[in-house]
Amino acid sequence: MSTTIEIQQFKLWDKLQAKRVPVSFDLEITARCNNDCRHCYINLPAGDSAAQASELTAAQILAIASDAAGMGAIWCLLTGGEPLLREDFAELYLGLKRLGLLVSLFTNACLITPAYVDLFQKYPPRDIEVTVYGVTPETYEHITRRPGSYGAFMRGLDLLLSSGLKVRLKAMAMRSNLHEHEAIADFCRARTKDFFRFDPQLHLRFDGDPARNDEIRAERLTPEQIAALECADDERVAALQKCRDTLIRDGSNHGGGNHLFHCGAGEGSFSVSCDGRFRLCSSLWAPGTTYDLRAGTLREAWEQFVPQVRDLRSNSPGYLETCRRCELVDLCLWCPAHAHLETGMMDGATPYFCAVAHARAALLKGKRSKT
Ligand code: SF4
Ligand code: SF4
């Protein structure tokens, strides 16, 4: 795809969003993964035959993508699990490219081969994002719980980087790799012209598995550790400070109404799980908020189902008097989807996210008073 076409497509973006068109969508083409990361919110074993049998076929996925493109979508993210575990990945990828979509790929890079590099060089993705769990075999494999995965990751990443493809590197900041955080940042910046971002907020499992959720909680940094990491990252602080006045609404609140959704979920994008469940965003799994695309159409989901979900309301005083009115909500990971994953209720309280938001606000306010 030429740069000119990409620029034209991005100019279209604003117009499409104004019309409530599904501009972009995520396809979780498998929940299976070759790794078994401690913090992972989705993974199932690579050889899980029941999980594999429940996955949409390439034809079903491409039919959904074709409908999305017909409704105005221009950008699609292929994610998982590990997308490259699917034997029909190349067929799927080429099908999406033939639809004229910009395609991004999230991969752990362990399964990258010269054949995939040839495919991507011939039909370039918009970008490929790879997560760096650690920069030593000990740390990387402590997190992935797969012996040999560090060597596979490095081989795959080197293949991608040496091919000139657009690769972005990112990290999860968690207890098991906190001691390597700076080294991970240096590793990423050295390989990607300074691009690096990290995410310290670990989501709970989509399947609600209690034992796995305990593992994820055990990997979460404290609010103070998160604020300290952000404080030490000049780029991040600058970005937060730039938006400070919209992120912290001093003395004001969102007021008015009891709607649950105040984010952009379902306004310009959607997610589809590997078994065909449509959601307004990837984290939204609450009962009544998913739509089975094997039984209905994407147009019905988008035009009829999404407005119903976005109209959901809460009458819980605990919500209406706290998060609904909170001046820090834009600094916070609270939202109906995460509240449901954390508490089983879309209007539930999330004390950990609350503490993180307050630590971040204190950091921003402190930085502002020094400038
Ligand atoms: S590599 Fe990604 S999808 Fe696989 S287990 Fe780790 S976090 Fe999950
Ligand atoms: S969890 Fe706390 S900081 Fe976040 S929106 Fe609710 S009250 Fe505000």
**Lowest-confidence pick of 39-43, 76-80, 314-318, 365-369:** 365-369
Quick check: 5 and 54 in contact, CB under 8 A? no
| β-strand partners of 259 | 313
Q: Whose CA is nearest to atom 7 of ligand 2?
A: 323
Mean pLDDT, residues 342-363 taken together: 94
Listed residue (41, 7, 14, 67) closest to 268, CA to CA: 14
Find the mean pLDDT for residues 167-172: 96
Minimal-distance CA residue to ligand 1 atom 6: 37
Per-residue confidence at 68, pLDDT binned at 50, 70, 90?
very high
Q: Which of 121-125, 204-208, 289-293, 329-333 has the lowest mean pLDDT?
A: 329-333
pLDDT given for residue 260 in this prediction? 92
31, 54, 177, 338 from 275: Cα distances, Å: 9, 6, 32, 21
324 dihedral zone (left: phi>0; alpha: psi -120 to 50; beta): alpha
pLDDT at 209: 97
Do 59 and 124 lie in one domain? The reply is yes
Q: Give the single-character DSSP code of 293.
A: T
Model pLDDT, residue 3: 44
Say whether both 76 and 138 belong to one domain. Answer: yes
d(CA 139, ligand 2 centre) in Å: 33
Q: Is residue 7 part of a domain?
A: yes
Question: pTM surpassing 0.75?
Answer: yes
Which pLDDT score is estimated for 252? 44
- % residues pLDDT > 70 (the chain): 89
- Residue 236 pLDDT: 78
Residue 220, helix vs strand vs coil:
coil
Q: Closest-lying ligand to the alpha carbon of 35?
A: 1
- DSSP secondary structure letter of residue 297: -
**How many distinct structural domains can be found in the chain?**
2
Mean pLDDT on 247-271? 75
Asked if residue 283 is part of any domain, the answer here is no
Residues 6 or more apart whose CB falls under 8 angstroms from that of 213 comprise: 204, 205
For residue 129, give the nearest of 100, 158, 104 by alpha carbon.
104
pLDDT over 60 (residue 324): yes
Q: Is residue 145 domain-shared with residue 197, that is, in the same domain?
A: yes
Q: Distance, CA 371 to ligand 2 centroid (Å)?
A: 26
What's the whole-number mean pLDDT along residues 224-249? 78
Same domain? 253 vs 129: no
Query: Are both 162 and 238 inside the same structural domain?
Result: no
What is the Å distance from ligand 1's center to 35 Cα? 6
Measured by CA distance, the residue closest to atom 6 of ligand 2 is: 323
pLDDT at 13 over 70: no
- Tell me if 357 is assigned to some domain: yes
Chain centroid offset of residue 92 CA: 20
Atom of ligand 2 nearest to the CA of 351: 1
Cα torsion 255, 263, 227, 42 to 10°: value is: 140
List CB contacts of 338: < 8 A, sequence separation 6 or more.
Answer: 203, 204, 283, 350, 353
Ligand nearest to the CA of 216: 1
Query: Residue 131: nearest ligand to its CA?
Result: 1
**Does residue 298 belong to any structural domain of this protein?**
no
Q: Return the top range by mean pLDDT from 96-100, 326-330, 331-335.
A: 96-100
* Residues having CB within 6 Å of any atom of ligand 1: 33, 35-37, 40, 43, 80-82, 108, 144
| Residue 305 in contact with ligand 2 by CB distance below 6 A | no
How far is the C-alpha of 248 from the C-alpha of 365, rounded, in Å?
Answer: 9
For 260-303, write each residue's pLDDT tens digit.
998 889 999 999 999 999 999 999 999 999 999 999 999 999 99
Q: Whose CA is nearest to atom 7 of ligand 1?
A: 40
Q: Tell me the ligand closest to 152's alpha carbon.
A: 1
Confidence check: pLDDT of 332 > 80: yes
Whether the CB of 353 sits within 6 Å of ligand 2: yes
- Closest-CA residue, ligand 2 atom 1, reads 354
Residues 148 and 248 placed together within one structural domain of the fold: no
357 and 211 within one domain: no
Residue 354 covered by a domain: yes
Residue 255 pLDDT level (bands cut at 50, 70, 90): low
CATH number at residue 207: 3.20.20.70
**Judgement on whether residues 358 and 370 belong to the same structural domain of the protein:** yes
267 falls within a domain:
no
For 335, the domain range is: 222-260+314-371
Supply the residue whose CA is at minimum distance from atom 3 of ligand 1: 81
Q: Judge if 215 and 228 occupy the same domain.
A: no
